[in-house]
Every structure is written in C-alpha cells, then in structure tokens.
Amino acid sequence: MSLVTQKSISKEVQQITVYSILFSISFSHMLNDTIQSLIPSIYPLLKNSFALNFAQIGLIQLTFQMTASILQPLVGTYTDKKPQPFSLAIGMAISLIGLICISYANSFSIVLFSVALIGTGSSIFHPESSKIAYMASGGKRGLAQSIFQVGGNTGSAIGPLLAALVVVKYGRSHAVYFGILAIIAIVILLYVGKWAKQQLIQINFQKNKKIVQEYHPRLSKKKIRTTVIILLILIFSKNFYLSSIGSYYTFFLIEKFHVSIQHSQLLLFIFLASSALGTYFGGPLGDKYGRKYVIWFSILGVAPFTLLLPYVSLFWTVILSILIAFILSSAFPAILVYAQELMPGRIGMISGLFFGFAFGMGGLGSALLGILADYTSIGFVYKVCSFLPLIGLITWWLPKLKKT
C-alpha cells in the first residue's frame, strides 16, 4: 500500500467517530468503576468488622489509589511503545480476583492485598481505555472523553447504591456477586481489543512516518512542561477535595446529622450521580467554547459552595453537594484532553499520568484527611478542604490552544 493511500486512510479514520466503541468502552468503564466503588461503600462494614480507626480507613484508600497511581503512567508509557490491545481484559480479570479476595477477607492485611489487586486492574484499565476513546473520537475528543468518563462516574454512583441494597443488607461476602459485572466487562473488552488492534497498527504507521507529532507545534517544550505542572496542580485541588467527599461523606452525614448507614449511602449515590452528569457536559463544552474556560468555571466556580457546605443544614448539604459534584466533575475531561493535545504523540503516557495522579491525590487525601479526622473531627476536615478550589486561580496561566 502506498504512502498516499495510507495517509488518506489515516485522515478518514480520524474523521469518523466510532460510537459503538465509545459506548462499549463507556459501559465497561461503568462496570469497572461500579466494582471499584464498592471499596469506599463498605468502609463502615470494614470499620465495624476489624475495629478500624479513620487512619486505617485512609490507609485502605491510599493502598488502592496509590497502586493505581504509581502503575498507570508506567502502563501508559509502555503501551505507547508496545501496544497491548487486549490488556484491558487482563486488567479486568485482575480486578475480579481482588473483588473475590475482599469479599472473604478475614484480616486487615488481606483487605489491603485485595484493594491493591483492584488498584492494579484499574492501573491497566484507565490509560488504555482513555487511549481507545481518543482513537475512536474522530476529532471530537472532548465528547469522546466525556462519553468514556460518564460511564465511570455512573458506575461510581451505582456502586454505593447497590452496596446499600446488597452488601450492607446481606453482608460483605455478597460483594462477590459483583464479579458477574467483571465477567461481562471482560467479554466486551475482548471485542474492543479486536478493534483496537487494527487502529494501533495504523497509529504506529503514522508515528513512523512523522504524521503524528510528539508535542504541540506552537508551544516550546519548556512551556508544555510548565502547562502540564499547572494542570496537575488543578487535578490536586479537585481530587484532594473530592476525596473528602468520596471517602468520608457517609461518616460526615452520620456524625453531623445522625442519619442511618443506608440513608447516607443513598445521599452518596445522589452526589455521585450528579458527578456523572457533570462529567458528560465538561467535554462537549470544551470542544465548543475552549477547554481553558471550562477548567476556569469548573474548579474555581465551586468555591462559594464548598465554603458554605460545612455550615448548612442537611437539606442544603445535599443541594450544595449536588452543585459541587456537577460543576467540579466537568473539569477532568477538559483537563485530560487539554493535556493530550499538548502531547499528541504520547496519549497513553499522558492518560496514565493524569489518571494516576488523580488516583494518587485522592488516595493521599484520604490518608491525610483520615489522620486529621482522628485528631479533630470530620466536620473540621470539611472546613479545611473547603478552601482547596481557590487553587483554581492558577488557570490564568494556561495558554489558549488552537487547532493544529
């Protein structure tokens, strides 16, 4: 096949948005994150079963998220050089083993081992599936990332609700039945892997012929590195704050408003469902109006609501939580695609770096906030974290990217 014909195919492939793949990977993301969301959802059960303090709860979350954080950039970098289209199914199988282990864990150390396995599965799934979403976008990168990520956030929202209905009601051993979701995901990801195999051959051809550039051509490498650092700081502010919600929201509601465990799980579901909805809008709005503006609004825009949250009634806590989740969650698709456009030749590495850093900051936040909660209170933790979105002011220094 001639070079001209290859270039024509490359252009045609890039212009077609493959919705069947996007929805397949989004559905798999939903199943993956439904399984992962069981971890924080069963914290109250683990706390009672093993007489854990908040620092140990934070250590569980740290183990899970740091496992994913450390491995994700390495996975992304490796698969940029040596594509592994069926690695997604392998990662899901590892998560399935971790789920089985945590269902029957009889010690704190087994719990840590179990969440480490689930974190390892996540470290494979996220950078690879994000790369596939980029490949299937047809140029609609923000939309593609939003479709992909809304699946994950939907799974994160469904998980606590299912946990309340099944695991909390019938016992931790019933978490093993969620393994059915992992098996379904493995079947879907094998189909996705077959499609990705052909696309990766084409991408490698483009790289070899210098059709795909490593870096954004209108920015210096120094400017790109500085911009990546700014984006990572924004991820820090977003995920450190969200870790206070995701890991300790149920405890906050139980301690301050004396709601039941099941009631708190329901309210956590409402928060996470709002987060899923916000994720969907972030990408398309970035495609239309510019990613920098979406980042501005989504991170700095929640500051008034986070500052009010620790001081209001239960009703307004729920309302403010919905607004915070919706607005703040729109940031990640915009941030990720912005970073991918800075380094279009290293999509796997960038995806792994940002997903990994997001997981890492969430895990570190959970651990540090758990220690702080033990020495003070959950209410005090929420007051401290309410100032984090103000870090969004540094968005001012992001360059405005133009289409290349």
| pLDDT tens digits, 113-148 | 999 999 899 889 988 898 899 889 888 888 898 899
Task: Determine, yes or no, domain membership for 376.
Answer: yes
CATH value at residue 148: 1.20.1250.20
The verdict on residue 2 lying in a domain is no
Distance CA 115, CA 41 (A): 13
Angle at 122 between CA 116 and CA 127, to 5 degrees: 140
Q: Classify residue 342 by burial, with Cβ atoms within 10 Å: 0-12, 13-18, 19+.
A: buried
Report yes or no on 96 lying in a domain. yes
What does the pLDDT average to over 344-358? 82
| Over residues 345-366, mean pLDDT | 79
In-domain check, residue 203: yes
Q: What is the pLDDT of residues 217-249, one digit of tens each?
A: 788 888 999 999 999 999 888 888 877 676 788
pLDDT of residue 15: 64
pLDDT computed for residue 92 by the predictor:
94
Query: Model pTM?
Result: 0.74
Confidence of residue 363 (pLDDT cuts 50, 70, 90): low
- With respect to residue 218, please indicate whether it lies within any of the assigned structural domains: yes
Residue 93 lies in a domain: yes
Going by pLDDT thresholds of 50, 70 and 90, the confidence category of residue 208 is: low
The verdict on residue 297 lying in a domain is yes
Domain count, the chain: 1
pLDDT at 13: 43
Tell me what pLDDT residue 172 has. Answer: 79
| 178 vs 99: CA distance, rounded Å | 8
Task: Please say whether the beta carbons of 338 and 234 come within 8 A.
Answer: no
pLDDT of residue 166: 83
Q: Is residue 351, in this structure, part of any structural domain at all?
A: yes
Lowest mean pLDDT among 83-87, 159-163, 187-191: 159-163
Range of the domain at 372: 11-397
Q: Which two tokens stand for residue 135?
A: 């490949």
**Quick one: the chain helix, strand, coil %, rounded to 5?**
85, 0, 15
98: Cβ–Cβ under 8 A, 6 or more apart, which residues?
Answer: 114, 115, 116, 117, 118, 119, 120, 121
Q: How far apart are CA 382 and CA 43, in angstroms?
A: 19
Give the pLDDT confidence score for residue 65 in this predicted structure: 73
Give the whole-angstrom CA distance, residue 29 versus residue 3.
36
Residue 356's pLDDT is what? Answer: 80
Per-residue pLDDT, 277: 85
What is the average pLDDT score of the chain?
83
Percent of the chain beyond pLDDT 70?
91
91 band by pLDDT with thresholds 50, 70 and 90: very high
